[in-house]
C-alpha cells in the first residue's frame, strides 16, 4: 500500500516534467503545424545551460532558481532564433521537409553540446532548501519531487490563463485554426509564430533545467525525451493542452506502476498504450479533426514519371561499374562500404514506396528492417539454417509484421499514422531488447556469417543483386495500375474511393510490400555484419531511412537511390574523418533543406527539365 502511494507520487513527478515539455511541443504544433523533432534537443539544452549557469552563480535560492529561469529564457531565445533563421523559410515546404530540417537541428545540437560540455555525464547541484524529504503518511518522500509535482499544474493554469484571457492567446488559438485568415485580419503571423516558438521552447528549457537536481545531464536526453513526449502529445491529441496534461499523467503513472506490475515489459508498455489509444481514438484523447487549411496557391508537386533516357543510361553505366569494378579494388573496406550502400538503397527504396507513391510517412520503418534481420539471424542461431533459406525467411517475417502493424497504421492519417508506426517500431525494439532468452537482448545475436561458398565479393554481388531487383520491382509496381491506385488515394482519398478504389486495402498491401522489401535489406544486413543487435530496429535507424528518402526527394523514383548513396557515403566518410560528424551532417542537411526544398533528385530533375525546355 505504502509502496503504491510512493509510486503514485513518483509517477506524478515525472508526469509533471513530461507535461512541461509536451505542452511546448503541442502549442508549437498547433500554430505552425511543424512536428519539431528538435524539441527534445531544446529540453537537453535547458538542462546543460542550467548546469552552467547554476554552478557559476552564488549558491543559494536566488542562484538556483535564478539559474533555472535564466536557462529557460535562454532556451526560449534559442527557439525563437531557430524559428527566424530556419523554420520561417520553410513553412510552405512539404511537411516532411520541415521534419528533415528539425532532424538536422537535432544532429547539430548534439555535437554542439558535446563540444561545449563534453561527453561525460554532469551531476548538477541539488536545489537549496529542498534537499531533504518530507513525511507523508509515514513515508519519506523527497521534497524536491513534491515541488516538481506542484509546478506542473501551476504551469498548466498559467498557460490556460494566457490562452483564454490575453489577446495573444486568442490570436494563437485563432491561428491554430486558420492562420491565413488571421493574417488577412492584419496580424503579422511572423511575430506570432516566433513568439509561440519562444514560449514553447522556454517550456522545454524549463523542464530540462528542473531536471538538474533529479538526474545527471547527458547527451542522450534529447532523443529519449522526444520519443516520450511525442507519445504524450499524440495520446493527448495534437495541439490540445488539456490533452497533453491528461496524457502526461497517464504516461507518468504508467511508468511508475509498470515497473511494479510488469517489470518484464516496461519499455513496451507506453507504446502499447499509445497504440491502443490511437486505434480507438485516431486523433488522440482530445484531438480535433484538423480544419483543412484553405488551399494556398502553390505549384503542384511533380508527377512521378519515368526517368529521361539519359538518366537511365547513366544509371546503367553506374550499375555496370558497381558489378565489374569491385574485384579490382584493394582491400575489404571498399567491399564493406559498397555492400552497406546496396543494402541502404533497398531499405530507402522500400520506405520511399509508402512515402512517395503511398503518401504515408513512417517514423518506424526500421521495425521491418530489424525484424527481417532478426528473423534471418534467429533461424541461423536456433535452427542452424543455411544463408539462403534464412535470407528467404527475412521478407516473410517482416511481411507478417507488416500485415499486423500495417492493419492499424494505414487507418490513420498524417502525423498520427507516422506516430503509430513509431509506436510499433518501439514495441518491436523493446521485444528485441528485453526478451533476452530469445534474442540475447543487448548482447545481440552473434555468429550470423554467410555460408562458406560466399566470399565477401560474392556476398556483395548477392546484396547488389537483391538491391537492384528489389528496387526495380518497386519501381515496376509504382508504375503499374496498382501504383496508380496508390497515388490516386494519396492525392484524394474520397475521389479515389468514389471511383471504386478501396483505399484501405491498397494502403495495406503497399505497407506490407514495403515491409517485405525492408525485410530483405535487413536479412542481408544480418549476414553482412555477422550479427544483429537491437540497434537494427531502433529510432536512429528509422531516422536514417527517412533522411535518405527526404534527401533524395520523395517525388522521384531515383530519389531514394541517390539519397541512400549520398547519405551512406557521406556518413561513412564523416565518421572516419571527424568526431563531430553529426555537426557536419546536420549542417549539410540544413543547407540542403534551405537550398533545395524539393530534394536532391527533384532539384536535379528541375534543372534538367528547365534546360531542355528553354523559356
Stretch that binds another protein, among 66-74, 179-187, 243-251, 422-430 (CB under 8 A): 179-187
Question: What are the angstrom distances between the C-alpha of 118 and each of 110, 211, 540?
Answer: 11, 19, 21
Stretch that binds another protein, among 176-184, 222-230, 380-388, 390-398 (CB under 8 A): 176-184
Stretch that binds another protein, among 172-180, 262-270, 344-352, 506-514 (CB under 8 A): 172-180
Nearest to 463 by CA among 537, 525, 515: 525
CB 164 to another protein: min, Å: 9
Q: Check residue 326 for interaction with another protein (CB under 8 A).
A: no
Angle separating helix axes 539-552 and 581-595, nearest 10 degrees: 40
Binding mask 493-512 for another protein (x = CB under 8 A): --------------------
CB 30 to another protein: min, Å: 11
Stretch that binds another protein, among 87-95, 180-188, 325-333, 548-556 (CB under 8 A): 180-188
Nearest to 133 by CA among 213, 59, 60: 213
Residue with cell 532556451: 75
Q: Which is nearer to another protein, 286 or 405 (CB)?
A: 286
CB 201 to another protein: min, Å: 24
CB 183 to another protein: min, Å: 5
C-alpha cell at 268: 513496451
Sign of CA dihedral 102, 49, 71, 227: positive
Residues 6+ apart with CB under 8 A from 185: none
Q: Check residue 86 for interaction with another protein (CB under 8 A).
A: no
Stretch that binds another protein, among 104-112, 178-186, 313-321, 593-601 (CB under 8 A): 178-186
Residue selected from 88, 126, 173, 281 as contacting another protein according to rule CB under 8 A:
173
Q: Which is nearer to another protein, 56 or 298 (CB)?
A: 298
**Residue 532, Cα to own-chain centre: how many angstroms?**
21
CA distance 172 to 149: 27
CB 162 to another protein: min, Å: 14
Residue selected from 85, 158, 181, 318 as contacting another protein according to rule CB under 8 A:
181
Report angle CA 226, 232, 233 to the nearest 5 degrees.
85
DSSP 93: S
CB 615 to another protein: min, Å: 13
Residue selected from 95, 178, 253, 497 as contacting another protein according to rule CB under 8 A:
178
Q: Which is nearer to another protein, 191 or 313 (CB)?
A: 191
CB 184 to another protein: min, Å: 5
Q: Check residue 578 for interaction with another protein (CB under 8 A).
A: no
Residue selected from 185, 303, 384, 494 as contacting another protein according to rule CB under 8 A:
185
Sign of CA dihedral 519, 522, 526, 532: negative
Q: Which is nearer to another protein, 280 or 300 (CB)?
A: 300
**Residue 118, Cα to own-chain centre: how many angstroms?**
25
CB 177 to another protein: min, Å: 5
Number of shown-chain residues binding another protein (CB under 8 A): 25
Stretch that binds another protein, among 165-173, 262-270, 332-340, 341-349 (CB under 8 A): 165-173
Q: Check residue 167 for interaction with another protein (CB under 8 A).
A: yes
Sign of CA dihedral 543, 549, 551, 553: negative
Q: Using CB under 8 A, which residues numbered 266 to 325 contact another protein?
A: 288, 291, 294, 297-300
Q: Is 610 exposed, middle or buried (0-12, 13-18, 19+ CB in 10 A)?
A: exposed
Using DSSP, state whether 293 is helix, strand or coil: coil
Q: Which is nearer to another protein, 192 or 474 (CB)?
A: 192
Q: Which is nearer to another protein, 301 or 505 (CB)?
A: 301
Q: Which is nearer to another protein, 189 or 430 (CB)?
A: 189
CB 537 to another protein: min, Å: 40
CA distance 390 to 316: 30
Q: Which is nearer to another protein, 173 or 281 (CB)?
A: 173
Q: Which is nearer to another protein, 296 or 330 (CB)?
A: 296
Residues 6+ apart with CB under 8 A from 361: 95, 96, 99, 355, 414, 415, 417, 418, 421, 546
Binding mask 187-226 for another protein (x = CB under 8 A): xxx-------------------------------------
Q: Check residue 182 for interaction with another protein (CB under 8 A).
A: yes
Stretch that binds another protein, among 140-148, 184-192, 469-477, 554-562 (CB under 8 A): 184-192
Half-sphere exposure of 51 (CA within 13 A, CB side): 22
CB 190 to another protein: min, Å: 9
Question: What are the angstrom distances between the C-alpha of 207 and each of 39, 69, 276, 347, 358?
Answer: 11, 10, 28, 37, 38
8 A C-beta contact, residue 196 and residue 31: yes
Report angle CA 448, 453, 458 to the nearest 5 degrees.
85
Residue selected from 171, 221, 275, 600 as contacting another protein according to rule CB under 8 A:
171
Residue selected from 52, 55, 133, 177 as contacting another protein according to rule CB under 8 A:
177
Q: Which is nearer to another protein, 137 or 299 (CB)?
A: 299
Residues 6+ apart with CB under 8 A from 282: 411, 412, 413, 416
The residue length of the chain stands at 615
3-state secondary structure 352-419: HHHHCCCCCCCCCCHHHHHHHHHHHHHHHHHHCCCHHHHHHHHHHHHHHHHHHHHHHHCCCCHHHHHH
Q: Which is nearer to another protein, 23 or 240 (CB)?
A: 240
C-alpha cell at 239: 495541439
What residue ranges bind another protein (CB under 8 A)? Answer: 167, 170-171, 173-174, 176-178, 180-189, 288, 291, 294, 297-300
Amino acid at each position: 500500500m505504502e509502496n503504491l502511494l510512493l509510486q503514485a507520487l513518483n509517477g506524478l513527478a515525472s508526469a509533471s516534467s513530461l507535461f512541461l515539455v509536451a505542452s511546448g511541443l503541442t502549442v508549437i504544433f498547433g500554430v505552425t503545424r511543424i512536428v519539431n523533432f528538435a524539441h527534445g534537443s531544446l529540453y537537453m539544452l535547458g538542462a546543460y545551460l542550467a548546469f552552467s549557469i547554476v554552478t557559476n552563480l552564488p549558491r543559494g535560492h536566488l542562484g538556483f532558481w535564478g539559474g533555472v529561469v535564466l536557462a529557460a529564457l535562454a532556451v526560449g531565445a534559442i527557439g525563437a532564433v531557430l524559428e527566424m533563421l530556419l523554420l520561417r523559410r520553410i513553412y510552405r515546404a512539404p511537411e516532411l521537409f520541415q521534419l528533415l530540417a528539425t532532424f538536422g537541428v537535432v544532429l547539430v545540437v548534439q555535437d554542439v553540446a558535446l563540444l561545449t560540455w563534453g561527453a561525460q555525464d554532469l551531476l548538477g547541484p541539488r536545489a537549496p532548501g529542498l534537499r531533504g524529504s518530507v513525511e507523508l503518511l509515514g513515508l519519506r518522500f523527497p521534497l524536491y519531487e513534491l515541488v516538481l509535482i506542484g509546478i506542473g499544474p501551476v504551469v498548466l493554469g498559467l498557460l490556460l490563463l494566457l490562452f483564454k484571457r490575453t489577446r495573444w492567446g486568442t490570436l494563437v488559438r485563432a491561428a491554430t485554426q486558420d492562420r491565413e485568415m488571421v493574417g488577412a485580419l492584419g496580424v503579422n503571423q511572423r511575430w506570432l509564430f516566433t513568439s509561440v516558438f519562444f514560449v514553447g521552447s522556454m517550456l522545454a528549457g524549463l523542464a530540462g533545467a528542473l531536471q538538474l537536481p533529479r538526474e545527471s545531464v547527458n547527451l542522450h536526453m534529447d532523443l529519449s525525451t522526444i520519443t516520450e513526449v511525442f507519445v504524450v502529445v499524440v495520446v493527448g491529441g495534437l495541439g490540445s493542452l488539456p490533452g497533453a496534461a491528461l496524457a502526461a499523467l497517464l504516461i507518468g503513472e504508467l511508468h511508475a506502476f509498470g515497473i511494479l506490475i510488469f517489470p518484464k515489459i516496461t519499455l513496451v508498455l507506453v507504446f502499447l498504450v499509445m497504440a491502443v489509444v490511437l486505434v480507438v481514438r485516431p486523433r488522440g484523447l482530445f484531438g480535433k479533426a484538423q480544419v483543412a487549411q484553405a488551399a494556398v496557391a502553390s505549384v503542384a508537386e511533380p508527377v512521378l514519371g519515368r526517368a529521361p533516357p539519359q538518366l537511365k543510361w547513366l544509371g546503367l553505366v553506374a550499375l555496370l561499374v558497381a558489378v565489374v569494378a569491385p574485384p579490382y579494388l584493394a582491400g575489404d573496406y571498399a567491399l564493406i562500404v559498397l555492400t552497406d550502400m546496396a543494402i541502404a538503397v533497398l531499405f530507402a527504396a522500400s520506405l520511399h514506396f509508402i512515402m512517395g507513391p503511398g503518401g504515408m510517412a513512417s517514423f518506424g520503418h526500421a521495425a521491418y528492417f530489424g525484424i527481417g534481420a532478426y528473423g534471418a539471424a534467429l533461424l541461423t542461431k536456433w535452427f542452424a539454417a543455411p544463408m539462403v533459406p534464412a535470407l528467404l525467411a527475412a521478407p516473410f517475417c517482416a511481411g507478417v509484421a507488416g500485415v499486423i502493424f500495417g492493419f492499424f497504421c494505414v487507418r490513420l492519417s498524417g502525423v498520427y499514422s507516422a506516430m503509430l508506426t513509431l509506436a510499433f517500431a518501439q514495441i518491436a525494439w523493446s521485444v528485441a531488447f528485453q526478451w533476452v532468452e530469445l534474442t540475447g537482448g543487448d548482447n545481440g545475436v552473434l555468429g550470423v556469417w554467410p555460408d562458406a561458398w560466399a566470399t565477401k565479393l560474392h556476398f556483395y554481388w548477392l546484396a547488389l543483386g537483391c538491391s537492384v531487383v528489389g528496387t526495380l520491382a518497386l519501381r515496376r509496381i509504382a508504375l503499374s495500375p496498382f501504383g496508380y491506385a496508390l497515388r490516386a488515394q494519396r492525392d484524394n482519398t474520397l475521389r479515389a474511393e468514389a471511383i471504386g478504389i478501396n483505399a484501405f486495402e491498397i494502403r495495406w498491401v503497399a505497407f506490407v510490400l514495403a515491409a517485405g522489401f525492408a525485410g530483405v535489406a535487413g536479412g542481408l544486413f544480418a549476414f553482412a555484419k555477422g550479427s544483429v543487435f537491437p540497434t537494427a530496429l531502433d529510432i536512429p535507424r528509422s531516422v536514417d531511412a527517412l533522411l535518405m528518402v527526404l534527401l533524395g526527394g520523395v517525388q522521384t523514383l531515383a530519389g531514394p537511390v541517390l539519397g541512400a548513396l549520398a547519405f551512406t557515403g557521406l556518413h561513412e566518410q564523416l565518421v572516419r574523418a571527424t568526431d563531430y560528424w553529426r555537426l557536419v551532417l546536420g549542417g549539410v542537411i540544413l543547407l540542403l533543406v534551405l537550398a533545395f526544398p524539393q530534394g536532391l533528385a527533384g532539384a536535379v530533375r528541375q534543372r534538367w527539365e528547365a534546360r531542355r525546355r528553354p523559356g
